[in-house]
Amino acid sequence: MAREYNFSAGPSMLPNYVLEKIRDELFEYKDTKQSVMEMSHRSKEYLSIFDECEAKFRKVLGVPDNYSVLFLQGGAYTQFSMLPMNIMTVNKTADFVLTGSWAEKASQEAKKCGEVRIVASSKDSNYTYIPEIDVSTLNPDADFMHICYNNTIYGTAFQLTPKAIVPLTADVSSMILSKPLDVNEFGAIFASAQKNMGIAGLSVVVIRNDLLERSPSDLPSMLNYSIQQKNGSMFNTPATFSIYVLSVLLDWLIDEIGGLETMETINKEKSSILYDYLDDSKMFTGTVEKGSRSDMNVCFLAQSEELNKAFCSESTAKGLLNLSGHRSVGGMRASIYNAMPIDGVKALRDFMSIFEKEHM
């Protein structure tokens, strides 16, 4: 069985450890005589998987006791609406930092719940950098301030969590578990699972408990954070198998990697291999300003559209998959989430070097 290096932005690679464990446990989980896929979500067998998953997630990320962890469905997209429906309910106004399509989409949904102010934006340069936020311009009455921490499409990332004067909320879909995050700096964070947290179907929300009191009682129950929290994320049937996969993935992070500090070191090493190469290359250029580079999504261009196309088709033939950039940036994008081994990144760098020699 051959597996190739998959640079997809999401759903994306899983560690072999996770795939092998799932394979081994697919027919029968431990000695339960059933597959996880067949378990009732309320059975004691499944509840122990669920509770262990939450405990490991809290431990790995360092989630403080005054925050709730919700395992929901509907992807990060649903959170673009659910977050303002629940917490943009005091003054009905929120501040947004525009760093790309995902922040834009979140702001569009928030507009349906009240007034949205854009407090910083890099739209003028097609989102090639993370803009400075001038704290003096922030609205002290905003119900929250929102950022997208890592901009999957453009390959930019906040290097540090920005200061906010109201609860900060963040879409961390493409960076969660890639490095330590101080949850105390946020009112709420959300992420869809399919990059660093396993497989599609699950989205995770971490929210400070006092914010749960803002959920209006007339919201549809499934979209009400407070109801979801009171029901232990089991108001309906949760994404049982995706939660199990997250649990196995957390075992990998804890037992094989050793936690988020080490994960960050590995991720920095991987992204440096590509950025160092891009800085020296005569053919390829990174699309992002140096101080805003993402360790998860590395975007670059060759000198012409023809070369970009040739690179994508030749790299695919060499077993380096899904390197085409998003249509709004063009060129190439290498998504190198936690599961991408360092050898995969080296293989890409070596292929870039060969391609450059052959086509210059």
Q: Return d(Cα 240, Cα 29) in angstroms, integer.
A: 13
Work out which of 15, 75, 162, 187 binds ligand PMP, going by CB under 6 A: 75
Q: Is 331 in the site for ligand PMP (CB under 6 A)?
A: no
Q: Supply the minimum distance, in Å, between the C-beta of residue 75 and ligand PMP.
A: 2
Q: Which of 21, 56, 179, 195 is catalytic?
A: 195
Q: Which of 107, 354, 87, 359 is nearest to 213 (CA)?
A: 87
Q: 171 catalytic, yes or no?
A: yes
Query: How many residues touch ligand PMP (CB under 6 A)?
Result: 12
Q: Which is nearer to ligand PMP, 46 or 198 (CB)?
A: 198
Candidate list 102, 179, 270, 295, residue with the active-site label: 102
Is 6 near ligand PMP (CB under 6 A)? no
Rounded CA Rg of the chain: 21
Q: Residue 27 burial (CB < 10 Å; 0-12/13-18/19+)?
A: exposed
Q: For residues 242 and 286, what is the distance between their CA atoms, to the nearest angstrom?
A: 34
Q: CA-CA distance, 337 to 178, in Å (whole number)? A: 7
Q: Is residue 102 among the annotated active site residues?
A: yes
Q: Which residue is nearest to ligand PMP (CB)?
A: 75
Per-residue interface string for the shown chain with ligand PMP, residues 132-161, x marking contact by CB under 6 A: ----------------x---x---------
Pairing status of strand 144-148 against strand 93-98: parallel
Minimum distance from residue 11 beta carbon to ligand PMP (Å): 9
The pair of structure tokens assigned to 98 is: 């525009």
Task: Quickly list H helices, 200-282.
Answer: 209-212, 225-230, 240-251, 260-280
Beta-carbon neighbour count of residue 264 at 10 Å? Answer: 15
Of 170 and 348, nearer to ligand PMP (C-beta) is 170
Q: What is the contact mask toward ligand PMP in residues 87 to 126, using x (rule: CB under 6 A)?
A: ---------------x------------------------
Q: 246: which 2 tokens?
A: 């997250």
Element spanning 156, H or E: strand 156-157
Q: Is 105 a catalytic residue?
A: no
- C-alpha to C-alpha distance for 269 and 303, rounded to whole angstroms: 26
Among the listed ranges 72-80, 204-212, 284-292, 332-340, the one in contact with ligand PMP (CB under 6 A) is 72-80
Q: Least CB distance from residue 154 to ligand PMP, whole Å? A: 10
* Interaction site with ligand PMP (CB under 6 A): 9-10, 75-77, 102, 148, 152, 171, 173-174, 192
Active site (catalytic) residues = 102, 171, 195
